[in-house]
Structure formats: C-alpha cells, structure tokens
Amino acid sequence: MRLADTPAPLRAGGQADADPAVPAGHNRPSAAGRADSASARGCDSGDPAFDAAVAALEAGRDAIASTRDDLELESWPAPKRLAPHAVALAVTAFRDGEEAGEGKLMLLYDPAGQDGWTGTFRIVVQVQADVDEEMAADPLLGEVGWSWLTDALDLHAPGYAAPSGTVTRVITEGYGAKSDDSPSTGFELRASWCPADGGGGDSGYSGGDSDELAAEIGGAVAAWCELLASAAGLPATGTVAIGGRAANARAAGPGHGALSGGRRRR
C-alpha cells in the first residue's frame, strides 16, 4: 500500500534542519519489559523548575505505560553537552510480540535559554521503524511522517513552538559476512520543539504557568509515543489522560510500517 492510500495528513511543517542531539543508526535500546518506574533523573537537580518538569515527564511516561502494552519505556542517559540540565527516555514498540520500532526523547533545560528557543525548555525526539520498500520509496513519506508528529502535537501538546526536524529513509544492506542478510528499509524522524511554558522564562513558574508546562511536557510524551505507534503500524489506544487533559488518540492510518523480524518481547 502506498502512502497516498492512507488518510491525508492534516498539515505538515517545520524547518529543514534537525537537531543533531539524538544519535543516528539502529541501535536498539534494551527494553525493560515494562515502564521503568525509577526516576528519570535519579535525584533532585536543585532547580525547582527542572524538577517539576521531570515529574511531569515521569507522569506522562506512567500514563502511557498504563494504557499501552505494546510500548516499553525506560530511562536513558541524556547527553550532558546540550544544556545545563537534561533528562531522557527511551521507548521500544512491539507488534505481535516482535520489535517494530524504537525512539528516544530528551527534555533539555537552560535557565538562560538558548538561540532558537522560545523559552527555557526544549524537547528533542527521535523515532525509527522498519517499513516496506514501497513505503520507503514513496515521495510522500516525508510529508506524511512529519504530519504524524504535528498531528499528535496538535492533539496532546498544542502549545508547542519553533518546531524543527527531518524525515529520513534508511536502507540497510549487508556485505561480507552479512551478505546473506536481506536488505531492509526504515523510517527515521528527528525533531525538536519548545513546549509552552506560560512565559516563565525566569524559572519562576507558579500557578497556571506550572500547570501549563506540566501538561505540555506530559503531552509531548504522548505525542512522541503516538508518532512511534503510527510509524510502527500499532493500533490506536483510545483515551490517554495526561496533565489534566483527556484526549482521544488519533488512529494510525492503515498500512503504516510493514514489519520485519526483530527481537521478541520478553
């Protein structure tokens, strides 16, 4: 099935340049077999704004884990060079007990802000999934793939700003000792954006500002997982309530991601 046969995207957008923060390649994270309930940061950072944001990230992770048994989330060491404070999650998608895709999410925090940011937080995501050759060759892959993200953000974290990203077709061929391996094709999306923070650039979040930021960060986790589900061809889940919001998840279109064999779920 060609991408043109799937439901038309509502919109596509974003800038051409992706943040290089998430490493490329098909390095699968080691799934925990369930949501990793340990703190994503391990201990308090000493910055109340960042600690509150991490708590919202963990709440979003737990909400997804409670509604989906085909996604496994866990903590992942965040690179330290990108911002004074950072925390990260990894997710693995399973279809019929076999691995169908993976993703990473980083929440960056710099009290002074950075060039290109609209506030003091930035979210960076990456997802990758195996797709069939016909889908990988479809000229609409980039537009549709980007719309999977923006549609999910519109639904779960509509305050997002300054989005940037890329969609990549990945072709893997084996040589030498791996020459007998069948070629595989994949989809990879990298993106970043700033969550709405209520204008609390001085880290003095209070009241509605902190609630809005918590909802946006929790919604970002939901959008990231929905993006991976769309790319990996997983079914829709229904309703996910995060940060006080209850939203109906957008159904993944038919034909998303013809799956190839991966490691089986433990």
Note if the pTM is more than 0.85. no
| The predicted structure's pLDDT at residue 100 | 93
| The predicted structure's pLDDT at residue 145 | 95
Q: Domains of the chain: which residue ranges?
A: 3-248
106, containing H or E segment:
strand 98-109
Return d(Cα 168, Cα 148) in angstroms, integer: 14
Q: Name the nearest CA neighbour of 224 among 156, 170, 178, 172.
A: 156
The string of pLDDT tens digits covering residues 120-167 is 999 999 999 988 888 888 889 999 999 999 999 999 999 999 999 999
φ, ψ dihedrals at 189, nearest 5°: -125, 130
The answer to whether residue 239 scores a pLDDT higher than 90 is: no
